[in-house]
Amino acid sequence: MDGTEPVWRRFMTAPGTTRGFMSVAETAREFGMSEMTLYRAIHAGEFPAVRIRGRIIVPVQAIAQMVAAALESGGEVDAAAWVPTDRRSPSRGLSG
């Protein structure tokens, strides 16, 4: 390593802010996927997110941990591992 900041650290906060969360749109853009794909993964309990009334936000710390784990292992990680087991059920109350 050349002493520069690790790639995963940029996910800890949005550039120039101290935000702890990103919108689904921002997260999807960072991962190069559609928002709908990410919403489906969240609703299926396959991606960590927080719902506050009708708004869904993604904790940047979870993203940073996923990226760090992938870089450390040199392989892929399953985002569902960052979702508590009891929240992976379709009946966990994400509607409305």
Domains contained in the chain, number: 1
Look at residue 2 and tell me if it is in a domain. Answer: no
Q: Which residue has the higher pLDDT, 82 or 17?
A: 82
Look at residue 1 and tell me if it is in a domain. Answer: no
Reading the block at residue 8, the tokens are 């995963």
Model pTM score? 0.70
Look at residue 90 and tell me if it is in a domain. Answer: no
Q: Is the pLDDT confidence value at 88 over 90?
A: no
Q: How far apart are CA 64 and CA 61, in angstroms?
A: 5
pLDDT in tens, 25-71: 999 998 899 999 999 999 999 999 999 999 999 998 888 888 889 98
Q: How far apart are CA 63 and CA 52, in angstroms?
A: 19
Look at residue 75 and tell me if it is in a domain. Answer: yes
Specify the DSSP class assigned to residue 5: P
Reading the block at residue 38, the tokens are 């990410």
Look at residue 67 and tell me if it is in a domain. Answer: yes
Structural domain harbouring 32: 7-83
- Residue (of 5, 35, 4) closest to 22 by Cα position: 35
Q: How far apart are CA 54 and CA 5, in angstroms?
A: 35
